[in-house]
Amino acid sequence: MYLIRRFEEEAARAYAQGKIGGFLHLYIGQEAIAVGAAAALKDGDTVFQTYRDHGISLALGSTPEACMAELFGKDTGVSRGMGGSMHFFDKANGFMGGWGIVGGHVAVAAGAAFKAKYAGDDSVTLCFFGEGATNIGGFHEGLSLAGLWKLPIVFICENNQYAMGTPMSRTSAIQDLTLKAQGYGMHGDRFAGYDVATVRERVQQAVDRARKGEGPTFIEIETYRFRGHSMSDPAKYRSRAELEERKKKDPLAITKSQLTDAGMSLEAIDEVEEAVEEVVSAAVKAADAAEPAKEEVMFDSVMATKLGPKNREEAEV
C-alpha cells in the first residue's frame, strides 16, 4: 500500500514536470482495496480495472519500473509505452487492463469469466469500477449475463463518492448499490474499505464462492480519493473540511497503527518505507533513461490473431 502511495506521489510530480502525457488518475486513498482484493486471488485469475489502474497493477505484481515506464511512454512499460496511465496491461500477472470507457470493461470481464467456465478451469475474474459506472449500459449487460449464467466473477464497486465532480446523490436513485445486483440474482456485500484485512477477508469469501461454481457477487466498498478525479481536476466540488475529515480514515495510517499495535516497531516500519523510497526512485530513474515506445511494435499489440497486420498481407495474398 505504501508502494502504491509513493509511486503515485512521484508520478504526480513527474506529470507536473511534463514527463507524462495524456491523463493521470490517481488511486491515492483507495489503496486498501487493490491490495486486499489482490491478496484473495491465485495464479490464473484475471482482473479488470478502470483507468484508475496503477494500484491494482502494482498489487498484482507488475514491477514499479514497468509501471513508471508506461506512464513515461517508454518501450519498457507494461504496455510497451502504448497505453499510458489508463491502459496498463500485464497478462503474466493476470491484469487484463485498465480501461478508459466507463463501464465498457464490465461486459468484457464477464466474457473472461465465461471463458473460464466454458473451458472448465477454476479461475475467477475480478472486475473493478466506480459507482458512476453502475448507471451505464455496459454495467447492466455484464451483470445480467454474469447472474444468468452464474459466472465465476466478483464485481467490485469502489464507491469513492464522486464520479468526476458529481456526488452519487445526483446520479443514482438509490444509495445502496447492492440493490442493483439483486435484480440480476447475485449475492451482494457492502462494507467500508479502509482496513486492508477486512477487504481481503470479504473479497476472499466472494472469490471462494465463485471458484466453487456458486456464481457471482457484487461488492460495494466505501472509499474516498484524496486527489482530484485526474491531475487536471482541482476538486472544487468538495470542501477542504470534508477532505480533512476523510483523511482521518487514511488506510495507510490505519494499517500503520494496526502494525504497531501488533508489535511491529516504528524502526521496522521505517525500514519498509525506506526500501519503498529506493524502489520508487529507481523506477523513476529507469523510466527516464528507457527508450521511447517504438512505432514498429504499435500494430503487434492491436490484434492477437494470425491475421494481425504483420501477417495480413501474406494472408490476403
Ligand X SMILES: Cc1ncc(C[n+]2csc(CCOP(=O)(O)OP(=O)(O)O)c2C)c(N)n1
Pairing mode, strands 187-192 and 217-222: parallel
Grid cell 491515492 is found at 28
Quote the least distance from Cβ 45 to ligand X, whole Å. Answer: 22
Quote the least distance from Cβ 91 to ligand X, whole Å. Answer: 23
Quote the least distance from Cβ 118 to ligand X, whole Å. Answer: 28
Q: How far apart are CA 165 and CA 292, in angstroms?
A: 34
Answer for which of 64, 97, 130, 228 binds ligand X (CB under 6 A) is 130
Quote the least distance from Cβ 89 to ligand X, whole Å. Answer: 17
CA dihedral 10, 50, 79, 108 (to 10 degrees): 170
- Per-residue buried b or exposed e for 148-180, using 16+ beta carbons within 10 Å of the residue's own CB: ebbbbbbbbbbbbbbbeeeebeeebeeeebbeb
| Residues touching ligand X, count (CB under 6 A) | 15
Residue 53 CA, chain-centre distance (Å), reads 4
Identity at 142, one-letter amino acid code: G
Within residues 187-246, the interface with ligand X by CB under 6 A covers 229
> 28, 48, 33, 52: which is closest to 90 by C-alpha?
48
Comparison of 52 and 200: residue with beta carbon closer to ligand X: 52
Comparison of 123 and 134: residue with beta carbon closer to ligand X: 134
Within residues 154-173, the interface with ligand X by CB under 6 A covers 160, 162-164
Quote the least distance from Cβ 120 to ligand X, whole Å. Answer: 33
Quote the least distance from Cβ 133 to ligand X, whole Å. Answer: 4
Secondary structure (3-state) at 123? coil
Comparison of 10 and 131: residue with beta carbon closer to ligand X: 131
Q: CB under 8 Å to 198, separation ≥6 — which residues?
A: 36, 191, 192
Q: How far apart are CA 242 and CA 138, in angstroms?
A: 32
Comparison of 167 and 183: residue with beta carbon closer to ligand X: 167
Comparison of 86 and 276: residue with beta carbon closer to ligand X: 86
Comparison of 222 and 273: residue with beta carbon closer to ligand X: 222
Grid cell 492491436 is found at 302
> 294, 316, 291, 295: which is closest to 306 by C-alpha?
316
Q: CB under 8 Å to 88, separation ≥6 — which residues?
A: 53, 54, 57, 62, 67, 70, 78, 79, 95, 97, 98
6 is a contact residue toward ligand X (CB under 6 A): no
8 is a contact residue toward ligand X (CB under 6 A): no
Within residues 77-106, the interface with ligand X by CB under 6 A covers 100-102
Answer for which of 1, 32, 33, 52 binds ligand X (CB under 6 A) is 52
Comparison of 132 and 251: residue with beta carbon closer to ligand X: 132
Secondary structure (3-state) at 21? coil
Q: How far apart are CA 105 and CA 124, in angstroms?
A: 16
Q: What are phi and psi of 302, to 5 degrees?
A: -90, -40
Piece of the chain touching ligand X by CB under 6 A; list 1-9, 127-135, 247-255, 258-266 = 127-135
28 is a contact residue toward ligand X (CB under 6 A): no
Quote the least distance from Cβ 221 to ligand X, whole Å. Answer: 12
Quote the least distance from Cβ 228 to ligand X, whole Å. Answer: 10
132 is a contact residue toward ligand X (CB under 6 A): yes
Binding site for ligand X (CB under 6 A): 50, 52, 100-102, 129-133, 160, 162-164, 229
